[in-house]
Structure 1
């Protein structure tokens, strides 16, 4: 006999189901009915109907009886009965599964160090399979955390070859997520399309203000009272992809550009870490040019 809080008791496999479809009555009833019919227990549920796109979004965590494979297969089979009825687009994953991730960097270390530290501490459900840098400066940091580092230099003439090498690394490692942790290169439209919805960037500004290079200096010149950071999915439109998370820091006229940069770096790493966590936990769903974030 095992007590409910006995750590030796076998854990019931838990899964996260995300779905979207045209909004209409009966969706929640149908999905929860499928889960109940399998003897599953919903442990977390969030939903949203978008008035902009007319679509319905839902995230459900569910504990399923049986072995992990049996429970997941049974849920997949049962969902097939309602997919056609509601035109569902859906995804199912194991709660807490470490998402294979490639991190791309240039020379600044603060975001990379923060992500690798959080992964090692067990605070991010990531498996960082590679760090790719267009400069070799952060190779030692990657090595310290035991992550392979790939130096892939980029020039205007070699960009196609460099992006082909990046894709080779992504495919050979089985990476499902690419994080631009202050990677100071613009990805081509072709690469953005190829990896759509799977590349997260941190922009050192509170978008849509101060796009492009040197945003803290732009902010200083405008005398802003708030600086911030924006984490978003990457698209072919520079710094205009769907926003996942933003954060700000209040400043005043006494701050010089160097101080704004230092303050901003702390905001950047926190903002990026939250966006990456929410993506890895399947809490972010795309709604056209916007995101639905189930925190």
Structure 2
């Protein structure tokens, strides 16, 4: 089969960018299979994702040509082989619904990631990890050991070559330093429809306010707690008869689905950062 690649790029908008990119791919033997683009009038930026097949060059050679092509356009770009599953490390605490959902989707061939390790500050899910033959790392975290724990976590992430880190209900606030190191490649699931009900116990906050909709938000991790660029959100109906437990159970289903979609889109290179927002080519 002809190797397939995914090219993503962003740059200042100007006339002829789609023509220039498609012309570059044609010149180097690329056959476009899927393409999407977006012009952000507010920022003056152009975004594009192209999936193409190419047998004329390998990935390394294509990157060399792309570097020369992109320079006059001030493009930020990346090129990935479509067949390569994204190396991923999952972090979890004591609630395993998102972890279990992600692992099942990977096993079922529904999620194109390669889970290299699971890290937790509790031992609860070591048997689940073992059932999928995934290394499990128990790293307790206290106020006194947080710096050492994060150093060990980052060591594992780097040793596994992880392109993606997923906080699948990992209930620890990452330090600013670790957030900076993982910028653009760490996704968190927040059990609330952000920006409402940030911080701890959002379902209790939602119940106290008598909301009629509850939700979940998948976003990139930043040093600003629960304020990273949003990738995906969804909601579920609620009414006055619901208890906190009802909202929590319904919310967990929503969390699992929202996180899975966000991870899938990121692993397929469909999410491009646009300042404090994202462009998602679904």
Q: TM-score, normalised by structure 2?
A: 0.98
Which residue among 262, 265, 273 is the counterpart of 1:286? 273
Residue number in structure 2 paired with 1:45: 35
Residue number in structure 2 paired with 1:204: 191
SS in 2 for 1:187: coil
SS in 2 for 1:163: helix
How far residue 213 of structure 1 moved from its aligned partner, in angstroms, is 0.7
Which residue among 159, 169, 182 is the counterpart of 1:182? 169
Instruction: State the distance in 2 between where 1:172 and 1:286 align.
Output: 26
Which residue among 218, 235, 238 is the counterpart of 1:231? 218
How far residue 159 of structure 1 moved from its aligned partner, in angstroms, is 0.4
SS in 2 for 1:264: helix
Residue number in structure 2 paired with 1:264: 251
**Which structure 1 residue ranges, 5 or more long, are not aligned?**
1-10
Q: Deviations over 1:244-275 (max 9, x none)?
A: 00000011111100010000000000000000
Instruction: State the distance in 1 between where 2:66 and 2:261 align.
Output: 30
Which residue among 228, 232, 237 is the counterpart of 1:241? 228
SS in 2 for 1:205: coil
Instruction: State the distance in 2 between where 1:97 and 1:20 align.
Output: 22
Contact 1:53-1:288 within 8 A present in 2 as well: no
Residue number in structure 1 paired with 2:132: 145
How far residue 51 of structure 1 moved from its aligned partner, in angstroms, is 2.0
SS in 2 for 1:252: coil
Instruction: State the distance in 2 between where 1:74 and 1:148 align.
Output: 35
Q: Deviations over 1:151-182 (max 9, x none)?
A: 00101111000000001101111111110000
Instruction: State the distance in 1 between where 2:63 and 2:151 align.
Output: 35
**Which structure 2 residue ranges, 5 or more long, are not aligned?**
none
Instruction: State the distance in 2 between where 1:201 and 1:96 align.
Output: 25
Instruction: State the distance in 2 between where 1:243 and 1:194 align.
Output: 19
1:98 partnered with 2:88: no
Residue number in structure 2 paired with 1:4: none
Q: For this pair of structures, how many residues does the alignment match?
A: 282
Residue number in structure 2 paired with 1:61: 51
Calculate the aligned-residue CA RMSD, in Å.
1.0
Which residue among 143, 146, 156 is the counterpart of 1:169? 156
Q: TM-score, normalised by structure 1?
A: 0.93
How far residue 29 of structure 1 moved from its aligned partner, in angstroms, is 1.2
1:18 partnered with 2:8: yes
Residue number in structure 2 paired with 1:8: none
Q: Deviations over 1:65-88 (max 9, x none)?
A: 24xxx3324432332332121011
Q: How does 1:106-117 map to 2 (within 5 A)?
A: 106-117=93-104
Instruction: State the distance in 2 between where 1:24 and 1:275 align.
Output: 30
